A and B are shown apart, each in its own frame.
Chain A
Amino acid sequence: MDLESELRKAMAERVAGTSAPPSLVADVKRRHRRRKARLHAAAGAAAASVAALALVPAYQSFRATPVGNSATARPTASVPASRPPERPPAAGLPASPPSKGRPGAGAPSEPAAHPSSGAGTEPSGPGAAGAAGALPDWITYIPGGLTATGPCRVARDPGRETTTCAWRGDTGWVEIALVKGGGLTGPRDLMRTPGVPGHTSVRGIPALTGDRPDSARQISWLARPGVGVTVTAKGSAKDRIMRIAEGVRP
C-alpha cells in the first residue's frame, strides 16, 4: 500500500465539496472593523484612565497642600487650642543664617511699615509679577487670582529686620511679614489686632489669630526663636489663611 498516495486521495476526498463562502471577504472586513473598534474603545478607556490618574495629582496641586503637611488638608482657622504643639519654640537656639531666596537676601531694602504695626494698612498697588511665578522659596502657597504687588520689601530697624511680601486680587489680598531679630518672646509681640486673640497652631507651633477692624484676619507665630511670621488676609483669601500660614517655611 502506498500510504502517501492514499493520503493524498483521502485528503482530496475529504475536501472535495469544500469551497469558501461568497461572503468571506465581507466577513473578513467586518471582523477587521470590529477589531479596530475594540482597539479604539480599549485605547479610549486606557487614555481616560491615564487622564483620570493624572488629574488627581493635578487637582491636589491645585488645592496646593504643602508637601508633607497633613494639617493643611482642611483649610480652617478653628484648630483646637488644646492640640499639643509638636515643635515648641525653644529659647536660646540660634536662627538660621539667611540664604539666597530666603527673606532678606537680595531684596531691595526699601523702608516699609511693619505689616502688623498699623491696623487697616493694606498692601500697595498691584505689581506686574504673578503670584505663582514670583513666590519666594519660603512661601509655598498663595491662593489663585492674586498678583504680587512687587518684590518683597525689607525694612531694617535697629535689632529687627522685617521682610514683607504682598499679593492683591479682585477678591482680596494677602500680606506675609517675616520678622527677624531679638526681643521676640512670643506671637503676642507680633499681634496688632484689637481684642483678645484666639489660639491656634501652625504646623504644631502655637499661634495667635485675630480679626482687624477692616475685616482682615491676622495670624502670627514664632517659627523659631527670633523669627516671627505674620500672615494677614482679607476677602476670599481670609478663608484660606490657615493654608497660607502652613505654607510659610522660613
Chain B
Amino acid sequence: MGRRDDESFVEFVAARGDALLRTASLMCGARQDAEDILQTALEKAYRHWGRLEAGSDPEPYVRRILVNLVISRARRWKVLREIHMARLPETPSASPNHAVELRGTLMDELRRLGPRQRAVLVLRFWEDLSEAETAQALGCSVGTVKSQASRGLARLRERLDTNLAPLGR
C-alpha cells in the first residue's frame, strides 16, 4: 500500500481544517491560541505524513496530537495564570436574556475545567466521538473517559447552579 503524499496533506487540511480549528478553539478557549496550536499539531503531523498509510484516516492521528498539545500547553501555562491573575473572577450580573446567559456561562465554566476534562467533554459532545474513540484520542482507558465526562458534567452543573441562582433559574 502506498504512502501519503504532500498533495493529500493539502486536501486533508482543506477538508478538515475548519473542524479541527473549532475543536481546538473549544479546548483552548481563545481563537489565537487555537490557531497556533492547530498549526503546531498540523506541522507535527506533516513531519510524519509520508509514513501514514494512504488508505487510513489521518484525522484521529491529528486529533490526538492536537489534544495532547492542548493539555500540555494548559499544564505549562497553569503556573503562569496562577501567578498573574491575582484579581477575583467576575461575578455574574442579572440579565434579561437568560438563555444567552446560560450558554455563555456554560462556556465560561467549560473553560475553567481542567484541560483533560475539557478535552473529554469537547470530544464527546462536540465531536460526537464514542467513549472508545475519545479514549483513543486521549490515550487513556474508556473508564477514565467515563469518569472524566461524568465529573466534568457534574462540576458544570454544580457551578451553573451557583452562578445562575442570582438570575432566578
Q: Using CB atoms and an 8 Å cutoff, list the residues of chain A in contact with chain B.
A: 3-4, 6-15, 18-21, 24-25, 27-29, 31-32, 35
In the bound assembly, the distance between CA atoms of A28 and B157 in angstroms comes to 39
Q: Smallest CB-CB separation from B19: which chain A residue? A: A20
Query: Which residues from chain B contact A32 at a C-beta distance below 8 Å?
Result: 43, 46-47
Most buried by A among B25, B106, B156: B106
Q: Knowing A11-B122, A35-B43 touch, does A20 contact B103 (C-beta < 8 A)?
A: no
Query: Which residues from chain B contact A20 at a C-beta distance below 8 Å?
Result: 13, 17-18, 20-21, 38
Interface of B is mostly: helix
Is B145 in the interface zone, CB < 8 Å from A?
Answer: no
- The answer to whether A10 touches B13 (Cβ under 8 A) is no
Interface of A is mostly: helix
Could you name 27 residue pairs across A and B whose Cβ atoms are closer than 8 Å? A3-B156, A7-B106, A7-B156, A9-B103, A10-B102, A10-B106, A10-B107, A11-B26, A14-B26, A14-B107, A18-B21, A18-B22, A18-B25, A19-B18, A19-B21, A20-B13, A20-B17, A20-B21, A20-B38, A21-B35, A24-B39, A28-B13, A28-B39, A28-B42, A31-B40, A32-B43, A35-B43
Rounded to whole Å, the gap between the CB of A231 and the closest CB of chain B is 63
In the bound assembly, the distance between CA atoms of A10 and B26 in angstroms comes to 10
Q: Smallest CB-CB separation from A15: which chain B residue? A: B22
Rounded to whole Å, the gap between the CB of B8 and the closest CB of chain A is 12
In the bound assembly, the distance between CA atoms of A167 and B17 in angstroms comes to 76
Extra contacts besides A6-B103, A12-B126 (12): CB < 8 Å: A3-B156, A7-B156, A11-B126, A14-B103, A19-B17, A24-B13, A25-B9, A25-B10, A25-B13, A27-B39, A31-B39, A31-B43
Query: Which residues from chain A contact B46 at a C-beta distance below 8 Å?
Result: 28-29, 32
Q: Knowing A6-B102, A24-B17, A25-B13 touch, does A18 contact B31 (C-beta < 8 A)?
A: yes
Is B153 in the interface zone, CB < 8 Å from A?
Answer: yes
Is B67 in the interface zone, CB < 8 Å from A?
Answer: no
